[in-house]
A and B are shown apart, each in its own frame.
Chain A
Amino acid sequence: MKYKDYYATLGVGRDATTEAIKKAYRKLAHKYHPDVSKDPEGEEKFKAVAEAYETLKSPEKRAAYDQLGRHAPGENFRPSPDWDQQHGDPQFSFDDADLADLFAGMAGGRHPGGGHIRMPGQDYDVSTRISLAEAYNGTEVELRLTVPEPDAQGRLHRVPRILKVRIPKGATDGQRLRLTGRGGKGLNGGRDGDLYLNITLHPHPLFRVSGHDLYLDLPLAPWEAALGASIEVPTLAGAVRLKVPPNTQAGQQLRLPGRGLPKPQGKSGDLFVITQIVMPATTSDVENGLFEQLAKASTFNPRERLQKEMKNGT
């Protein structure tokens, strides 16, 4: 079993009062709790902090922990036979167990193998990141977890588990999927836990996502914006032709209904194409000549409103 320094995890001395331990825990929980924190590693850090507090807040568990002696964090160790006799659980296997499981079995906690009380399995909360194409088509993901599982004798073992989960069409960023009975196994007839999958999307080089709608920038040459054009635009189902009307302004949104992400209820979001009018970085003499002709021929004043406001002194 690997040793963990619970005092160091909470940043308190070995002689800290229960009150000081509680205060240190609360500060760190505030910082790392996955429901509150923005730290991408918050969840892992919070788990370590919560595990340390779970043992150190109970005087009985803390005394038993202190009696394990001091070891370097991560060092493999085995509790002494004396310790085992005093605090140990005959059903406990030390070899592949976690320190947390050792204390979970003590008074004030519940040993999953103990008694014949019906106990529901643990719910698993797992995050996964998929591509926009996977969200569009539906996909299957492999989740790698390490979970405590009891054997036939009720002894806890940490076992790596690979769960294959189908994500149907309908996903978007931040959406949650619930899979009944895919969490930890229930004990003594208790129901199996559920799996909650938090889905996020990899950023796409072209499409931006808002709910089930997609946004795409469409660069246009000034003459395409002026005269209108039929332009090939990408969608998640392949390219389509889009008619850009004459006199299109920059920043205008052209809507392609149903070309966004599929929704769980069957309909689909929309694709919004945002027009941009782009000038060439350099222009040839011929192009300059044509622009000069246009400048002479046109009576268009793009700053009419600006000039009116300036005249009014605003």
Chain B
Amino acid sequence: MAHESTEPVWLTDDHLLSVAELAEMSGLSEAELLELVDYGAVTPVDPESSPWMFTGRCLLTVRTACRLRISFDLEPHGVALMVSLLERIRGLESQLDSLRAQLPRHP
């Protein structure tokens, strides 16, 4: 399927994607994606509701998961573990950046 649109899209928490969209954009099959959800590498916005929707950030996580699986030849649970630790580091780094921004510089 060729895409005509080149409208830039911000990959933020406000931009939502369906399983099919996430699969098409990441190049994974839906089954492989559901496996990543099973292992906790990515979580739908509301796991209780159907159909599942994912944030734009999840696309980045899934692409990272793909790269790690290929580069390090990892099992799905290894990928999930690595991705969740990387997400934790990302969260801590962004907290640190935010606190640093609030620290006054010396006049």
Genuine A/B complex: yes
**How far is B15's CA from A209's CA once the two chains are assembled, in angstroms?**
22
B102 touches A272 (CB 8 A): yes
The secondary-structure label for the interface of chain A is mixed
Given A168, A174, A182, which contacts B94 in the complex, CB threshold below 8 Å? Answer: A174
Chain A positions 36 through 66: 1 when the CB is less than 8 Å from some CB of chain B, otherwise 0: 1000000000100010000000000000000
* Chain B, Cβ-Cβ closest to A34: B67
- Among residues of B, the one whose C-beta sits closest to the C-beta of A276 is B107
CA–CA, A50 to B73, complex, Å? 12
Q: Is A98 an interface residue (CB 8 A)?
A: no
* B residues less than 8 Å from A253 (CB atoms): 102
A182 proximity list for chain B (CB < 8 A): 6
Asked whether any CB of chain B lies closer than 8 Å to the CB of A100, the reply is: no
Contacts of B98 in A (CB 8 A): 210-211
Neighbour of B72 across the interface among A26, A178, A194, A265, CB < 8 A: A26
Report yes or no: A215 in contact with B102, Cβ–Cβ below 8 A.
yes
Contacts of B50 in A (CB 8 A): none
User: Which residue among A174, A196, A209, A264 has the maximum number of chain B CB atoms within 10 Å of its CB?
Assistant: A264
A217 contacts the other chain (CB 8 A)? yes
Does B10 contact A175, Cβ atoms closer than 8 Å?
yes
Question: Which residue numbers of B lie inside 8 Å of A, CB to CB?
Answer: 1-12, 14-15, 25, 27, 56, 59-60, 63-64, 67-68, 71-72, 86, 94, 97-98, 100-102, 104-105, 107
